Amino acid sequence: MERLGGLDAVFLAIEGPVSPMNIGSVGIFDGPAPSLASVLSAVASKIALVPRCRQRVRESWLGIARPMWIDDAGFEFSDHVHHVVLPSDDPDALERFVERVMVQPLDRGRALWEMWVVEGLGDGRWAIVSKMHHCMIDGIAGTDLLTLVMDSDPDVEHPPVKLPTATREPTAVESMRFSSVMIARSVRAHLRHLAHSVTHPRATWDRLRDIVAGGRGLWLQPSRRDSPLTGPIGPDRRWAHTRVSLGDVATIRHTFGGTVNDVVLAAVARGFRELLAARQQPLDDRTVMALVPVSTRTADQRGRLDNRVAVTHALLPVGIDDPVETYRAIRRHLDEVKASHQTDASTVLLHTGDYTPHPIAAAVARAVVRIQQNIETIATNVPGPRTPMYLCGRRMIEMYPFAPIAGQIRIAIAIWSYSGVLFLGITGDRDSTTDLDTLVLGIDHGLDALLAEAGATA
């Protein structure tokens, strides 16, 4: 048994009928597609090394403590890996398939992941569509798991393996005893932390001052309740994708300075500008508030399946038409954000479950997601492998991420880098974002405009 982390439990708690907290990926491979048996064998040989993928969630008695991970005594690998052939005459069949499977809730009575081998893409290509519950992984953990499951060499052979199996699941009494021990340990840890704070008043004061300063900029933003980008969402999704060469991003960075994230957010700002213009919304001096996750994972925590993130707010200046001025404005703004201690403040809120009873932390998380009115989108950027990856000897040529939406947020943008390319997956609420392609084209236009300006400057 292992207790879920505070943030892991938050992602479990905020899931609802219209907001399944599934994150996923769509990997596209050179053909021909291997047999399902070959994929089962290759993936099983790696999953044997990842106990979390053979565990399920068990709620504590009456929900008084955080849920726990327990071994799934009924685990069957074939229950989680499936095969589907898409109609080859439909060019959007893969997108429609992703939209369908990503909103289907994962069965909490089983390990919280699924995978599909998808054929019928045309041009001799095939795909792996995978999803996991967000309580298992964040973006970096997902990259680590993908790197483990896949191969860096196309000629690797996978001998048959026998997955470890649980002989039984913990009894109710054992689970209650475990939860009690975990609560007692947590109380002792908090008392030690309190004692340290009392005996080091200057450090405690400096820390509180930074948190308050960061919280002021993070959570006390003006309400955007009238934004056309936010509002109630339904149970269905739209999903679109695009890509950009990291070489082009490097050209922009070397010309104007900044980071990969600066370039991406500038392009996203352009995308939202075109989306709002198409909706005949006023643009003068307008900004779009984006929630930007930031990894807090240290080097020694790589490979651990859990969530270790903080968040910041980024104001995307969609009111600026000039692409270079948009880029410079974002650079200035993000430099201010980095110095604002927003990540310190967000860590306190996101990890409420680490220092308050679970029912209170879960209620706070659900309330924040439900009532917040200032965040208009999510933009998450995760670095992936720099070299090609293989499965069953086939090279993965593209890899698009999928991010969930919840609460009042109708659009989420996930960015993942792989083998010299940035891949973007954009998730939207089906009922309110019928124009998601406009956003995607706007992002492409933003990158093209920056690249053209960089070429002209050079």
CA–CA distance, 175 with 439 (Å, rounded to integer) = 48
| Parts of the chain with a pLDDT under 70 | 163-164, 166, 189-190, 193-194, 196-197, 203-220, 340-355, 458
Closest CA to 424 of 436, 434, 408: 436
Ranges of CATH 3.30.559.30 domains, the chain = 213-387+396-457
Render pLDDT for 81-135 as a digit per residue (tens, 0 to 9).
999 999 877 889 999 999 999 999 999 999 999 999 999 998 889 999 999 999 9
- Can you give the three-state secondary structure of the chain, one letter per residue? CEECCHHHHHHHHCCECCECCEEEEEEEECCCCCCHHHHHHHHHHHHCCCHHHHEEEECCHHHCCCCEEEECCCCCHHHCEEEEECCCCCCCHHHHHHHHHHCCCCCCCCCCEEEEEEECCCCCCEEEEEEEECCCCCHHHHHHHHHHHCECCCCCCCCCCCCCCCCCCCCHHHHHHHHHHHHHHHHHHHHHHHHHHHHCHHHHHHHHHHHHHHHHHHHCCCCCCCCCCECCCCCCEEEEEEEEEHHHHHHHHHHHCCCHHHHHHHHHHHHHHHHHHHCCCCCCCCCEEEEEEEECCCHHHCCCCCCCEEEEEEEECCCCCCHHHHHHHHHHHHHHHHCCCHHHHHHHHHCHHHCCCHHHHHHHHHHHHHHCCCCCEEEEEECCCCCCCEECCEEEEEEEEECCCCCCECEEEEEEEECCEEEEEEEEECCCCCCHHHHHHHHHHHHHHHHHHHHHHC
Ranges of CATH 3.30.559.10 domains, the chain = 2-149
**Domain 2-149's class?**
alpha beta
* Residue type at position 260: V
Closest CA to 97 of 77, 108, 82, 80: 82
In the CATH scheme, what is the homologous superfamily, with its name and number, of domain 213-387+396-457? Nonribosomal peptide synthetase, condensation domain (3.30.559.30)
Evaluate whether 450 touches 267 at the Cβ level (below 8 Å).
yes
Q: How many CA atoms lie within 13 A of 151 on its CB side?
A: 16
Render pLDDT for 311-352 as a digit per residue (tens, 0 to 9).
888 899 999 999 999 999 999 988 887 776 666 656 666 666
